Amino acid sequence: MHTIALVGQKGGSGKTTLAASLAVAAVAAGETVVALDLDPQGSLAAWGNDRTEDLAPAVDALTGDKLNQIAEILKKLAANGFTVAILDCPGVASTAITTAMRCADLCLVPSRPTKIDLRASIPTVQSLVSLKRNFAFVLNQCPTTARGSRANEAAAGLKMLGALAEPPITLRADYQDALAAGQGVTEYAPQGKAAEEAKALWAWVSRTLKGLSQ
């Protein structure tokens, strides 16, 4: 089983929205997916509760003592046939989040294209480097002119700190509307540009995970 953790100490970077979109896109690509909410706010778990009962992916919240059992829980999930686990982590440093990072095959660090967000990502990057974890940035919530100077400058800055996932994710209403509807963006508006981005991002993540496994 491959484990992906969405991490970052900056609130509002879009970790939950990306976790939901990636989980659904991975299911559509043939994976058996579980999405785990480690954030006390419980936004991903609430999204899971809004979904149709028999509709994948599986979604659960890890709270209390379960946060101290992440490694064991992931082993059990792998034994039960899950092929991908996606961890939605809160924007605070803790022992549990460090464990989640250690368990992840790939950590994704979403960042909006602003200097504040870029600076806020540095402590997370330092932790990931210290832990010797594989990670990549996701340039998220870009203006609709995603190839404009601000997004390009942000992409260049992130590449200096580490790998940059492709494609950049644009600020589109479909992402938030899908989350509110208990859907992934590829379900909510399958022919839309946001759905294209989500599918392309999952394809990049999948290729990267395969490369790391070789």
Tell me the mean pLDDT in the region 90-115. 89
Go through the domains of the chain in sequence order and give each one's CATH number.
2-209 (3.40.50.300)
**% of the chain exceeding 70 in pLDDT:** 90
Residue 102 has pLDDT above 60, yes or no: yes
Question: What's the average model confidence in pLDDT over 146-152?
Answer: 59
**pTM (2 d.p.):** 0.91
The 3-state DSSP class for residue 212 equals helix
Q: What length is written for the chain?
A: 214
pLDDT digits (tens, 9 = 90+) for 16-35: 999 999 999 999 999 999 99
Assign 195 a pLDDT band (cuts: 50, 70, 90). Answer: very high
Mean pLDDT of 41-70: 91
Q: How confident is the model at residue 121 (pLDDT cuts 50, 70, 90)?
A: confident
